[in-house]
Every structure is written in structure tokens, then in C-alpha cells.
Amino acid sequence: MPTSGPDAMQPALRRRRRRRRQGFLLPFACLSAALIAAALLPGAAFADGVTPSEARRLRDEVKDMFYHAFDGYMQHAFPLDELRPLSCQGEDSLGGYALTLIDSLDTLALLGDKERFDAAVEWVGKNVRFDINKTVSVFETNIRILGGLLSAHLIASDYATGMRIQSYDDQLLHLAADLAQRLLPAFDTPTELKYQITSTAGGGTLTLEFGVLSRLTNDSVYERVTKNSVRGIWARRSKLDLVGAHINVFTGEWTQKDAGIGTSIDSFYEYLLKEAYKAAMHYLHHDPWYVEVNMNSGATVWPLFNSLQAFWPGLQVLAGDVDPAIRTHAAFFSVWKKYGFTPEGFNLATSTVQNGQRSYPLRPELIESTYWLFKATRDYRYLDVGRDILASLQYGAKCPCGYCHISDVETHQQDDHMESFFLAETVKYLWLLFDLAAGPDNIVENGPYKYIFSTEGHLLPATPQIALLDEHCLYAGAFCNGTAGHGYGTGDSSNKHQNANSVPFDDSRTPSNQSLSNILSTTRGYIKGVCPGLTHAQKLGISYSAEEDNSIQQNSGSSENLDESYVIKSSVQAQSSSVILISHPVASQTEEPTSGRSQYNANIVATAESVGTDTASASSHPEDLVKETESVSEQKEINDKEIASQGSQPTEGRYLT
């Protein structure tokens, strides 16, 4: 990831910019009015809307885009990591293990290409090995390789996906476990933060993949070390509940204290959104833009839109906070409209491309947010956005063997490189957008599960194997684990990976403190079929969260009818986008928390009501900011004492808690 601008600035210049921070507000306002008015008025922005028939045509065009790039990789670069699409050659950029192929596996499945998916899975299982001497990025290896292997494994091993491979015998799961074992030493640091020069995103964006692996292998060590890393970062947040961009893993000191939603921090928010959202909206949000501030004072230090921020509106949609997402997306897209692509950096004070950040490396974030906003609103404005993005890629980035990075968004000069995430994310979200409009025909919309999208856009189904510990038998035909307290209890494949590092989790409890092992005492071992105690929604694969009003009702009927022996009340928090957010079943507080930190003891599902933007109270003046900072600090000290006296611990994680 590119380094943000402040690293290159001299201290005197940085102080000068801080003193002039009041002057940033006017350019924000002027830029917002000048650039995004048309985007918020569909009639003024687009002459012709995308019809359903055109959406089908655009979907097919995106599919052709995928195969132009994928076939170019397979013909000219495979088995090297990535394609050089101008020269039609390959390069090893990560570790030398067919990165682009692994990153593309679940996209092949999404497109329904069973023949190529089968062949690719078979090749990876037979040929990829990690017993090589390489220095790799833990973050990139995790999201691209480990995530790609796990997603493809879950698709290839399940008949319900329609992509089950008859000869498949967990080869990708074995590879994933082997890879994760080789990455574990990176967490052996005094702070338990991941080794390397650790960005907040790099140290805090590992739990989903490692957590899923723990659930599949019945070995809790993977999830435990990555959760410790996230907790270590969050424990070192400032009194304003902000985190910086880089941290020293040996001392725990922040080495770059600029807080933002973009470069070096971005995906951290995907895991701790409930905890960090209020502070982000209060200190970073200058509607509709976001800036970088000092994590301790809240003072603006960098008025910059960088392209990695573009994921944020999509994340807000998942949180149920759609209105600010609409405004921010319109602002971000206005930059795309101005140049045909989004540069890595766009200076909000000067309304120009930031020097040294002129490129567009085929990033997916704006397209990702466009997909989620269309899914939430069904506003055809977002299909027009998708059409414009597709046209830019086709006319500006297409090259002989694939799609090229744009080295300068003003000249549209091409660069001979194509990152694997172009096929894993950029094309995937663009195809999903048009397929949703055309009448969805894919496993995400029509399949047997709800899917979680990882940071790299990999599809991870919310099956019983990877669901929360308190969730059992979510769909008809599931394997029900009737014996709690034995690790994760995930089926036959889990037994293949147990080792000395396996530490079983404690028996989880319901809000009534009744252990699930007692509740499921009539279901010992693994039982194939419809499990007892499921609502209709749970049998269809919809997850539930046990809120404080959940109860277990015993039915006095015959024991022969196990399906009606008891009912677990489902508490599903559905958003307008049809996305279900799952929170950990812990006892909820009855009173609304008074501070950000005290929220962590509550069972919070992020909704439009529960996630407050608090933008109206955000101060624009330095003197007010000082007062607010002092007030926040005083309130936090009070809350810290309250929490310490109660012995409370924060809950962690958006996906696996």
C-alpha cells in the first residue's frame, strides 16, 4: 500500500498545515458543491439510465473482461504470481505460488465455470507447496492466498453450492493449515502484534481467515493469535478512540499517529466497526469527505481523499448508515468522473491530484461500495455508476493480454502490471452489480447460505462449521454437533488437523447460563439431517443472534418429534440491503452506554439506529476541539474506572466474535 503524504512532509510544513486547518473547511465545502451536485441529482448526471436488458449486456461484458484477463494470465504468466499485461509476461510478486490463480478461484465458481474451477482446484492441490524460503507479507498472504484457499475449499467440498468436486479430499484445507502454521511465528512478539513494519490494517485484518481456519480444523490457535493482535492494537488507541497508521510491534508505541479511514488503517474498521465508528464519524468526517487527523488531538493534518477510502460507503451500508454513505459515495465518484479513474491521492484543499499519488492500480473499493449501495437502495443511479466505471476500464485500462495499471490518471498512461485483486475483487463486484440488476443467478444471491465477503472479496459462507460457537445446525442437511466443549466440533475434516497447539474453547453459554451441550443432550456426535430446535429461517441457512430477549422454550410434546422438542427464538437484524449482521450472544445492557468504551460490554448489532454518526456535533474550530478533547478525556477516565470496577472486557470483531 502507498505511504500517506505526511511521511514525506518536513516537520515545519506539517506544523504550518495544522495552523491553517481552519482554512481546509472552505475548500471542502466548495469542492463538495462543485463536484457532487450532479452525482446526487441523477437526472442531471446521466442522460440515460441502465435498463434491465442493458444490465444483462453489461454483466456479460464484465464476464468477457474477466476471461480476457484470466486467459491472459494462464497463457502468458501461469504459474508465476501475476501477469504483466502489456508485455504478456509473468512475474513473481508475492511468493511464487500461482497467486492470481488462487485469488481467482471463487470468482470462477461465482461465474458458474465448473470446468475451470475443477481444473484449477485440482492443480493447486497437487502443485502448490509452501515449504520454500521466501520473505512474504503476512497481510497480503493472508487475504489473498489463505482467503482464496479457504473460500475455494468451502465451495469445492459442499454439494449445496453446485460446485462440489467429486474427487476433492480437502487438499486446499491442508494447504491452508500448512500456510497458517508457517505464518504463526510472525505473531511471536512482545506485544502479540504481527511482526514486520505493522500498519494498523496489516495487524488488524487477519481474524476472518485465521478464524475460519480454526473453525474448520478444530484448532483454536489461529483465531487466538489474530484476535490478540486486534486487541493489542485497539488497547493502544488514543483517548479519542482513534488509532494511528503504524505501530512498533516490540514497544507498542505508535510510529505514525495520523488517524484516517484510508491507507494503512482502512480494513481495520471492517473488524471493529461497532467500537470505532462513532469516533471516526466525529473526528474524521467533514461531510461528505474524510480527512486524516492526529489521533491524540483530533487536529486535521492531511486533507486528502485516497482511493482506499472508497470502501467506506459500502461498510456504512452494512452498518445500516445509508444516508452518509450515499453522500460520500457521490463525492468519491465525482473524482472518478473528473479523471476517468480515482488517483491514489486527491488533495481536497487544492482540488488536484496529489503529487506522487497519480496512479490507479485497478483498485476495487469504489466498485465495491457501488454494489452495496445498489443492493441496499435498488437505485438505478448506481448502475449508471457501474457502467461508467466499466467504460473507463475498457477504454483506458484494457491492454493486449489483460488490464493495465494506470500510472497517471490525467494522461491515462498504462503501466505493465495487473494485481491479482483485479480478478478477485474488481471484476467480481462489477459482475455482481449488474447480475443483481439483471435478475441474480449466482451462489451469493441464490445459494444456500449467507456469504461474508473478506477484505479481498473472497466468499466465505456462514455454514455451521464457521458460524459462532452458539450457533448449531443452521440449515437442513447440516452436521449437528451435540457435544459442546470440544474445540469447535466441525465434522470429520476437523480431526485431520488436530495437534499439540489445539486448545479447546470453553463450553459456550446462552443468556440464561444454560450450556448448549445440555440443550443438545439428545443429539450426540454428528447427525446428518434436520436438527432439533430450528426455526424455519435457521433451516434455510439464516444465522441468528441471541439477544437478551432470546429464550429456549421446551415443548411438552412427544420426544419422537425432535424438531418440535424446543424452539430457539431467532433474532435476526436485517438491513435494507438484505445483509444480516451477527453479534455475539452475550448479556445486553439495558441502559444506553455513555461513552464509546462502555459500548463494548453490550450486545450491539450495527444498525441505522444503533450506529450514531454524531456529525452534527463535530467541531470545526480549534478552540472547540480543545474543549471537546478535554471533555472526552475526562469522560473516558470516569468510564475507565467504571469498567475496571466491573471487571468488564470488550467484545471484539465484526465477523467472528
Annotated binding site: which residue ranges?
455
Rg (CA), the chain: 24
Per DSSP, the three-state class of 83 is strand
Q: C-alpha cell of 565?
A: 422438542
Crossing angle of helices 312-319/322-339, nearest 10°? Answer: 160
The residue behind cell 442437511 is 477
Per DSSP, the three-state class of 204 is helix
| Among 209, 258, 270, 365, the one annotated catalytic | 365
Which H helix or E strand runs over 63?
Answer: helix 52-76
Per DSSP, the three-state class of 403 is strand
Q: Which residues of 546-569 are buried (b: 16+ CB within 10 A; e: fewer)?
A: bbeebebeeeeeeeeebeebbbbe
Residue by residue, what is the 3-state secondary structure of 490-513?
CCHHHHHHCCCCCCCCCCCECCCC
Q: Is 140 a catalytic residue?
A: yes
C-alpha 13, offset from chain centre:
35
Q: Is 642 a catalytic residue?
A: no
| Among 219, 241, 321, 344, the one annotated catalytic | 344
Q: C-alpha cell of 357?
A: 499519488
C-alpha 324, offset from chain centre:
19
Q: Is 192 a catalytic residue?
A: no
Cα–Cα dist 380/14, whole Å:
43
Cα–Cα dist 13/16, whole Å:
5
CB neighbour list of residue 342: distance below 8 Å, 6 or more residues apart: 307, 310, 332, 335, 336, 360, 363, 366, 409
CB neighbour list of residue 43: distance below 8 Å, 6 or more residues apart: none
The sheet carrying 345-347 orders its strands as: 304-306, 345-347, 352-353
CB neighbour list of residue 90: distance below 8 Å, 6 or more residues apart: 73, 76, 77, 78, 80, 81, 82, 83, 84
Closest CA to 358 of 347, 341, 344: 344
**Strand pairing report for 552-554 and 566-568:** antiparallel
Q: Which residues are documented as binding site for Ca(2+)?
A: 455
DSSP string, 413-464: EEES-B-THIIIIIHHHHHHHHHHHH---SHHHHSSS-EEE-TT--EEE--T
| Among 103, 140, 292, 456, the one annotated catalytic | 140
Q: Is 637 a catalytic residue?
A: no
Closest CA to 136 of 104, 74, 180, 172: 180
Q: C-alpha cell of 110?
A: 461465482
Report, as residue numbers or ranges, the catalytic residues. 140, 266, 344, 365
